[in-house]
Structure 1
Amino acid sequence: MAGKGTPATALLTKRKIAHTLRTYEHDPRHTSYGLEAAEVLDVAPERVFKTLVAAVDGNLTVGVVPVTGQLDLKALAAAAGGKKARLADTADAQRATGYVVGGISPLGHRSRLPLVVDVSAQDFDTVLVSGGRRGLEIELAPADLIAVTSAVVAPIAAHA
């Protein structure tokens, strides 16, 4: 599987969007995929974003937040124009995106899902998001991530 592209990398290549692939050997004992990526790739964890799938008023919606925080479900619902949100079931998230948990990318989903990116992504020249499998991160400009996914930008991260 190591040199194969993913729907996420194929989308960026097709759209000619500048990006860098960052790979590492995923340790199955690690409890946080995003924090593991930040450590192994020696990147500030605030620049590494995780992709979470939630159901907003019953419709699957994707939230992209820094690995240092949590997804604020109320804020996600508001940003998506809904009233109530809950994290989606793993099977639903995997079926809709075409990716496995721990490797869900905000790019190249099987079904087109609304996407909300936390406003903090705009604080950086580049951010890292999952490339579509565990151990593969994509580094790209937040503006490119937002443009290619037609994302809404909103404060959806809650910090402990």
Structure 2
Amino acid sequence: MAATPGLRVLEQAGVPVTLHPYAYDAQAEQIGLAAALALGLDPALTLKTLMVEVDGKPACCVIPADASLSMKRVAAAFGGKSAAMMPPAKAERLTRYHVGGISPFGQKKPVPTALEAAACTAAKVWINAGARGLLLGIAPADALRVLSARALTLCA
């Protein structure tokens, strides 16, 4: 399996991960939930990567597949007044990943990143590895360190 930019970043940082390929369903209404179901994982520990704009500036939120962002909390988390989802085409250009395969690791341009605090208490979480149909298992502390991210309450 070809290494994604995210996997290369994690390897260079010496972070141990496990790889979990699954059959990607492009028609799934909620891709993160479909991935969790396909792999038999807890949706609360299967994290989706959402690109947002806070006062017009890009940011990355990594939250449980079964949760929804609170834009009010996102704006506050990144020190802004308003937040909105980034349009998919812009997210793809900014990250160099395709929607459904966006990883917080190895993005084209690093942006401020936050992980949902509730998921950070687990021993391991699963996050997109940078390709549709591929998750990686990682300790939340390692994810926070490599991403220079903060653990914050982002969900509604």
Q: What band does the TM-score fall into relative to the shorter chain? A: over 0.9
Partner secondary structure for residue 44 of structure 2: helix
Match of 2:154 in 1: 156
Match of 2:68 in 1: 70
Q: Deviations over 1:80-102 (max 9, x none)?
A: 11111010111111111110111
2 CA distance for matches of 1:127 and 1:56? 26
Residue in structure 2 matching 1:32, options 30, 34, 39:
30
Match of 2:56 in 1: 58
Matched AA of 2:85? L
Q: In the TM superposition, what is the alpha-carbon distance from 1:29 to its structure 2 partner?
A: 2.7
The answer to whether the aligner puts 1:8 opposite 2:6 as a matched pair is yes
Q: In the TM superposition, what is the alpha-carbon distance from 1:148 to its structure 2 partner?
A: 0.3
2 CA distance for matches of 1:77 and 1:10? 31
The answer to whether the aligner puts 1:128 opposite 2:129 as a matched pair is no
2 CA distance for matches of 1:80 and 1:14? 28
Matched AA of 1:149? L
Q: Deviations over 1:41-66 (max 9, x none)?
A: 11111110101011101100001110
Matched AA of 1:157? C
Partner secondary structure for residue 100 of structure 1: coil
Matched AA of 1:8? G
1 CA distance for matches of 2:40 and 2:78? 33
Partner secondary structure for residue 49 of structure 1: strand
Residue in structure 2 matching 1:116, options 114, 127, 131:
114
TM-score normalised per structure 1? 0.94
Match of 1:146 in 2: 144
2 CA distance for matches of 1:149 and 1:77? 19
Partner secondary structure for residue 60 of structure 2: strand
Q: Deviations over 1:117-149 (max 9, x none)?
A: 110122210000101111000100000000000
TM-score normalised per structure 2? 0.97
Matched AA of 1:132? G
2 CA distance for matches of 1:30 and 1:55? 25
* Aligned-residue RMSD, C-alpha: 0.9
Percent identity of the aligned residues? 37
Matched AA of 1:101? V
In structure 2, stretches of 5+ residues that fail to align are none
Match of 2:79 in 1: 81
Count residues in correspondence: 156
